[in-house]
């Protein structure tokens, strides 16, 4: 029997990365009640856009491109980390504009539209960057590995987990401590009241969708050095993200974080001791939790439960 | 303005239905080369993956077929008949493979089926093909069971299999890296049957399997498995991980600096799975059936033909998957010409007698089709990363080659029970 502790650490790290993936997804579902099936594609698009920024793909062969590539890798990486999510956010805003005619109609319209958008984004990626596997470079200071308890761990993975913690806290602080966060939360609770108070609901939705999509793009950029980059990566992302928000309770921010950590621990532990079950573990977790508590870990009580 | 409220339950139910739909949808494409003469075209059903874990390899496999088809059509076709193709995405899913094969034969009048990367898909297609007597060329899937327990009279396997590759690598690796091995196995038919071949060779040459770690298809994060390997401290890891999973695994091993120790023995290395990756991701020793930089007659012309036909393709030089797709298609056409007919039994007999010189195939040894297993017996090249190269395409350093006799899968003949000619339905394309 091998030691459990490294696998618990690994599971926790994985969980934080899952939380980063689910963050934008849960925000959009919570505020807009739209299941954005293009979330995974926006995740992938953000990563590709960041890749082109880092590698000067936009300006390859020009004097600016040459100058750009002479900059330190760390500078280019962090500029990519800023630009990729912003561009993914803009793509998300465009998608929200397309979604507008579906508001107030059966959810299937929104789902089909976001599903179609996912296919379109994937094809755009194929056309723009090709079908082959690409790898995301990382700066020297966060690459490599370190020893802990006699075992080797990836420095980058711990950086990504730390990044996820900071991102989660910042998003939470934004929602809890800023006036705009309060409007977003109020919009999630009762959008008609927000409109009645004079706030522009259409603009609120546009911003929330853009922000959620930017978070997806940021997660894509952070996860790309671990998972690699390929056009159909989105499918690997949207299903865990969906499961996590259901396990955590739809619309619950901390529910999603807790669910992501549970999914990470389940994947990590089964990956070590029963690897054939590692991908299945998140589905088993879903059945176990939703079977006993239909609204998820921290979901709001439904009228039917009263 | 009133806005209708949508129940959470309704939203989630619809989302679940649509999300599950994602896994089953894929593009499909119909390509027609219109017949220019009176003769009925020969319809070739291309059964390769355009989505899923082996989408990239499926595309490379198709390019190989396309080049062979274009060359045949440029010469006036086969038996004076143009070749028409019909492609459906097999989605790296056996159930889809089965459905696609059924439709190609019964509704699209395809006279031959060709293409496979995933062995489960190939097995599913071949069962349908056998039912109708339609010849099926398994171009690139390489589970030993494909030419063993799952062999069929109508199926011909053109890639080397896990057992061939293991024979080329295991004995020398035990001597070099020690007896203590961990097996990292993709949890499906190719992984299992390749691992079984490795286990048998470990036993034969005095190695010890410390543990076999099964990895589900679609795994993106290998950290748990890599931590486990560190704790077990093996001398070597025999990895049978394919497609996109392998790309993710290679990147993660390189990040951890685990590429040199333990030693990694990757039985088979498909070109699309590593092309474009940094060289430090290409650690270990691995096998292939062909490399674009082999110093043999005809190779450079073959590369030029590939580049002329696919000038915009990301993969700038042909690899083993392209090579197998090309040769399987070409050998099918040659067999039809030799038979002077598209009658399935006549063509099967020609394919069973197939022999190709080393020079023609651009390999180091003559190759032939084993009539007992329907697997192409060919050269195996053992390679490692070409560290220090300035040419980004020249990623492999060829360490040596083995003849087909040296690496023959000795268990296949006993496991394969081909259906008789009489019990195979007659089919004429």
- CATH number of the domain that B282 lies in? 3.40.50.2300
pLDDT confidence of residue A306: 54
The residue assigned the tokens 């050269």 is B379
The mean per-residue pLDDT over the stretch B318-336 comes to: 98
Whether chain B has a CB inside 8 Å of the CB on A269: the answer is yes
Instruction: pLDDT band for B334, please (50, 70, 90 cuts).
Output: very high
pLDDT confidence of residue B17: 56
Structural domain contains residue B53? yes
Can you list the residues of chain A whose pLDDT is less than 70? 1-2, 302-306
Structural domain ending residue among the three candidates B378, B397, B419: B378
Q: At residue B236, does pLDDT exceed 90?
A: yes
User: Do B135 and B61 share a structural domain?
Assistant: yes
pLDDT confidence of residue B3: 42
The mean per-residue pLDDT over the stretch B138-165 comes to: 95
- As a whole-number percent, the residues of chain B with pLDDT over 70 amount to 91
pLDDT confidence of residue B9: 56
Structurally, how many domains does chain A consist of? Answer: 1
Q: B179-193, B242-256, B297-311, B347-361 — which is least confidently predicted?
A: B242-256
Query: Which of chain B's residues have a Cβ under 8 Å away from the Cβ of A2?
Result: 228, 231-232
Instruction: pLDDT band for B7, please (50, 70, 90 cuts).
Output: low
Structural domain contains residue B29? no
Contact: A271, B314; criterion CB under 8 Å: no
Using CA atoms, how far residue A221 sits from A28, A212, A266, B221, B387, in Å, is 20, 14, 24, 16, 28
In this complex, the residue of A35, A152, A278 whose CB is nearest that of residue B230 is: A152
Which among B245, B274, B250 has a CA at the least distance from the CA of B264? B250
User: Do B189 and B218 share a structural domain?
Assistant: yes
ipTM over 0.85: no
Q: At residue B297, does pLDDT exceed 90?
A: yes
Whether chain B has a CB inside 8 Å of the CB on A102: the answer is no
pLDDT confidence of residue A279: 87
User: Do B276 and B385 share a structural domain?
Assistant: yes
CA distance to partner chain A, nearest, from residue B62 (Å): 14
Kindly report the average pLDDT of chain A as a whole number. Answer: 89
Query: Which of B4, B8, B58, B242 would you mutate first to test chain A, the one with the most A CBs within 10 A?
Result: B8
User: Do B301 and B283 share a structural domain?
Assistant: no
Structural domain contains residue B19? no
User: Do B50 and B153 share a structural domain?
Assistant: yes
Structural domain contains residue B14? no
Query: In sequence order, which residues have a C-beta less than 8 Å from that of residue B96 and are 6 or more positions away?
Result: B24, B26, B89, B90, B121
Query: Which of chain B's residues have a Cβ under 8 Å away from the Cβ of A108?
Result: 14, 18
pLDDT confidence of residue B150: 96
Burial of B400 (0-12, 13-18, 19+ CB in 10 A): exposed
pLDDT confidence of residue B16: 56
Structural domain contains residue B416? no
Structural domain contains residue A299? no
User: Do B269 and B141 share a structural domain?
Assistant: no
User: Do B151 and B223 share a structural domain?
Assistant: no
CB pairs A-B closer than 8 Å: 168
Structural domain contains residue A301? no
Structural domain contains residue A303? no
Structural domain contains residue B74? yes
Q: Are A212 and A245 in contact (CB under 8 A)?
A: no
User: Do B313 and B335 share a structural domain?
Assistant: yes
In this complex, the residue of A105, A239, A271 whose CB is nearest that of residue B224 is: A271
Structural domain contains residue A302? no
CA distance to partner chain B, nearest, from residue A60 (Å): 16
Which among B331, B193, B183 has a CA at the least distance from the CA of B262? B183
pLDDT confidence of residue B14: 56
pLDDT confidence of residue B28: 38
Q: List residues bridging with B83 in a β-sheet.
A: B42
User: Do B280 and B193 share a structural domain?
Assistant: yes
Its pTM stands at 0.80
Cβ neighbours around B81 below 10 Å, total? 22
Q: Are B207 and B235 in contact (CB under 8 A)?
A: no
Structural domain contains residue B132? yes
In this complex, the residue of A104, A135, A279 whose CB is nearest that of residue B4 is: A104
Structurally, how many domains does chain B consist of? Answer: 2
CATH code, domain carrying A242: 1.10.3470
Whether chain B has a CB inside 8 Å of the CB on A196: the answer is no
Structural domain contains residue A214? yes
Phi, psi for residue B356 in degrees, rounded to 5: -130, 135
Q: Are A128 and A198 in contact (CB under 8 A)?
A: no
User: Do B50 and B133 share a structural domain?
Assistant: yes
Contact: B6, A106; criterion CB under 8 Å: yes
Query: What's the domain range around B191?
Result: 163-288+381-406
What is the dihedral angle through the alpha carbons of B170, B172, B176, B180, rounded to the nearest 10 degrees?
30
* Highest-scoring range by mean pLDDT, A72-81, B198-207, B369-378: B369-378
Q: List residues bridging with B46 in a β-sheet.
A: B87, B114
Query: What's the domain range around A196?
Result: 4-292
Q: At residue B27, does pLDDT exceed 60?
A: no
Structural domain contains residue A204? yes
Whether chain B has a CB inside 8 Å of the CB on A10: the answer is yes
- As a whole-number percent, the residues of chain A with pLDDT over 90 amount to 55
In this complex, the residue of B225, B227, B315 whose CB is nearest that of residue A6 is: B227
Q: At residue B71, does pLDDT exceed 70?
A: yes
User: Do B257 and B203 share a structural domain?
Assistant: yes
The mean per-residue pLDDT over the stretch B125-140 comes to: 98
Contact: B256, A143; criterion CB under 8 Å: no
pLDDT confidence of residue B35: 40
Q: At residue B1, does pLDDT exceed 60?
A: no
Structural domain contains residue B206? yes
pLDDT confidence of residue B38: 54
User: Do B254 and B328 share a structural domain?
Assistant: no
């Amino acid at each position: 029997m091998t030691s459990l502790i490294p696998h618990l650490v690994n599971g926790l790290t994985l969980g934080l990365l899952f939380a980063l993936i689910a963050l934008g997804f849960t925000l959009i579902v919570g505020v807009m009640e739209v299941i954005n099936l293009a979330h995974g594609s926006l995740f992938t698009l953000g990563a590709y856009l960041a890749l082109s920024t880092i590698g000067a793909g936009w300006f390859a062969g020009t004097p600016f491109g040459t100058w750009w590539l002479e900059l330190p890798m760390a500078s280019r990486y962090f500029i990519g980390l800023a630009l990729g999510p912003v561009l993914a956010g803009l793509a998300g805003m465009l998608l929200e504009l397309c979604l507008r005619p579906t508001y107030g109609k059966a959810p299937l319209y929104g789902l089909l539209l976001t599903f179609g958008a996912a296919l379109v984004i994937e094809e755009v990626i194929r056309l723009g960057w090709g079908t082959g596997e690409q790898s995301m470079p990382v700066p020297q200071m966060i690459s490599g590995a370190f020893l802990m308890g006699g075992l080797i761990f990836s420095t980058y993975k711990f950086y990504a987990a730390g990044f996820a913690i900071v991102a989660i806290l910042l998003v939470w602080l934004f929602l809890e401590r800023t006036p705009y966060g309060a409007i977003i939360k109020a919009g999630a609770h009762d959008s008609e009241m927000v409109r009645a108070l004079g706030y522009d609901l259409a603009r609120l939705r546009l911003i929330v969708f853009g922000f959620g999509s930017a978070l997806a793009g940021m997660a894509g950029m952070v996860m790309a050095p671990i998972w690699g980059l390929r056009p159909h990566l989105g499918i690997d992302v949207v299903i865990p993200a969906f499961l996590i928000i259901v396990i955590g309770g739809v619309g619950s921010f901390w529910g999603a974080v807790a669910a992501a950590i549970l999914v990470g621990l389940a994947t990590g532990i089964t990956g070590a001791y029963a690897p054939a079950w590692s991908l299945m573990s998140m589905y088993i977790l879903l059945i176990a939790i939703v079977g006993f508590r239909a609204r998820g870990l921290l979901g709001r009580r439904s009228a039917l439960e009263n | 303005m009133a806005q209708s409220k949508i129940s959470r339950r309704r939203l989630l139910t619809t989302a679940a239905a649509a999300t599950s739909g994602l896994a089953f949808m894929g593009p499909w494409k119909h390509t027609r080369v219109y017949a220019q003469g009176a003769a009925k075209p020969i319809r070739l059903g291309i059964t390769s993956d355009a989505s899923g874990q082996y989408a990239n390899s499926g595309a490379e496999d198709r390019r190989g077929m396309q080049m062979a088809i274009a060359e045949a059509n440029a010469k006036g076709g086969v038996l004076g008949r143009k070749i028409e193709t019909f492609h459906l995405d097999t989605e790296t899913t056996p159930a889809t493979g089965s459905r696609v094969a059924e439709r190609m034969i019964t509704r699209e009048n395809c006279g031959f089926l060709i293409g496979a990367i995933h062995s489960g898909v190939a097995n599913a297609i071949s069962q349908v093909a056998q039912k109708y007597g339609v010849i099926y060329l398994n171009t690139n899937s390489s589970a030993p069971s494909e030419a063993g327990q799952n062999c069929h009279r109508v199926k011909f396997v053109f890639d080397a299999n896990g057992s061939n590759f293991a024979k080329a690598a295991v004995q020398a690796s035990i001597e070099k890296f020690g007896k203590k091995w961990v097996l990292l196995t993709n949890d499906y038919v190719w992984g299992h049957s390749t691992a079984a071949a490795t286990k048998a060779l470990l036993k034969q040459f005095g190695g010890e399997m410390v543990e076999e770690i099964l990895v589900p298809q679609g795994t993106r994060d290998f950290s748990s498995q890599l931590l486990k390997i560190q704790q077990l401290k093996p001398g070597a890891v025999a990895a049978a991980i394919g497609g996109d999973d392998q790309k993710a695994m290679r990147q993660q091993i390189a990040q951890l600096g685990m590429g040199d120790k333990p030693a990694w023995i990757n039985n088979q290395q498909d070109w699309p799975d590593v092309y474009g990756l940094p060289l430090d991701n290409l650690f270990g020793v691995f096998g292939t059936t062909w490399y674009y930089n082999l110093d043999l007659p005809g190779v450079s012309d073959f590369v030029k033909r590939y580049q002329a036909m696919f000038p915009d393709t990301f993969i700038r030089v042909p690899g083993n998957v392209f090579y197998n797709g090309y040769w399987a298609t070409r050998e099918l056409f040659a067999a039809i010409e030799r038979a002077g007919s598209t009658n399935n039994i006549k063509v099967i007999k020609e394919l069973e007698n197939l022999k190709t010189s080393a020079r023609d195939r651009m390999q180091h040894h003559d190759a032939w089709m084993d009539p007992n297993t329907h697997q192409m017996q060919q050269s195996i090249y053992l390679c490692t990363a070409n560290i220090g190269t300035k040419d980004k395409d020249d990623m492999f350093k060829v360490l040596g080659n083995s003849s087909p006799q040296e690496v023959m899968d000795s268990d296949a003949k006993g496991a394969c029970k081909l259906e008789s000619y009489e019990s195979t339905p007659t089919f004429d394309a």
